Amino acid sequence: MQETEVKLAPEAEGQEQQSTEEAVSEQLVIGAEAPVEASSTAHIKAIIEAVVYITDEPLSAAQIAAALGQPAELVAKALDELAAEYNRPEHGLTVREVAGGYKMATKPEHHEAVRAFVKNLKPPLKLSLPALETLAVVAYKQPVTGPEVMEIRGVQGAGVLKTLIDRKLIAPAGRKNVIGKPIQYKTTKEFLIQFGLKDVSELPTLKEFEELSKFALADPEPEPEPETPSGEEK
């Protein structure tokens, strides 16, 4: 028995090839869209995690959805996934429902360890306005001498420099090669840690530093030496 070979007409063969190409193209488009959608969902989930972390009051799924402009179902699903992830034993934090909203907190089983750790922490850094001003001068002009700091600020402030040295925010940086060879000062590693800086290149602009000074907390400790206008006799 002889096999019969069926040959398609040129037009039919062209249509079949076009149909196959369209199907392949459609599959490629679907395959390309999937990772983008997954990436977008992961991004929104990360934002929700950050929002829950920074807020003190519990936030409902509806509040988060309205604020982010995202579907409530998507936000609710992300919150459920976050709660499940943080519920794993390798996490010290938990995301749970509190008073109709979601809140991030330490797990109860770690409370005692966290409480003991907090008791051993150093008290928060509090600087008076003169100390913050002096620190700003040293940070932006370093290495800088005491007389140069006083000239810039317009007041005598040797006591303030001592306070900053005691708090390990500034340190001596050799002597300047001028008459009298005054000591120069620079900021320290502790300064970078306290202000969350990688290095001094990340210092805020002078305008931002001035804004920061408005929120300086009063130092409960009296200044070792009262400041007097530069050039005025004590």
Are the CB atoms for 93 and 106 separated by under 8 Å? yes
Residue 14, classed as helix, strand or coil, is helix
- List all residues 6 or more positions away from 151 whose beta carbon is below 8 Å from its beta carbon: 230
The 8-class DSSP code of residue 173 comes to E
The structure's pTM equals: 0.45
Question: Where do you find CATH 1.10.10.10 in the chain?
Answer: 12-106, 129-213
CATH class for the domain made up of 129-213: mainly alpha
**Token pair belonging to 193:** 């840690």
CA angle 127–131–136, rounded 5-degree value:
110
- CA-based radius of gyration for the chain: 32
Do 201 and 172 contact (CB within 8 A), yes or no?
no
Reading the block at residue 45, the tokens are 């989930």
Domain boundaries 12-106, corresponding CATH code: 1.10.10.10
| pLDDT tens-place values along the chain, 234 residues long | 454 444 444 454 455 455 544 543 444 344 434 343 445 778 888 988 888 888 878 888 888 898 888 888 898 889 988 888 888 888 888 888 888 888 888 888 888 888 888 777 766 667 888 888 889 889 988 899 988 888 888 777 678 888 899 988 999 999 988 888 899 999 998 888 887 788 888 887 766 666 665 555 444 444 455 555 555 544
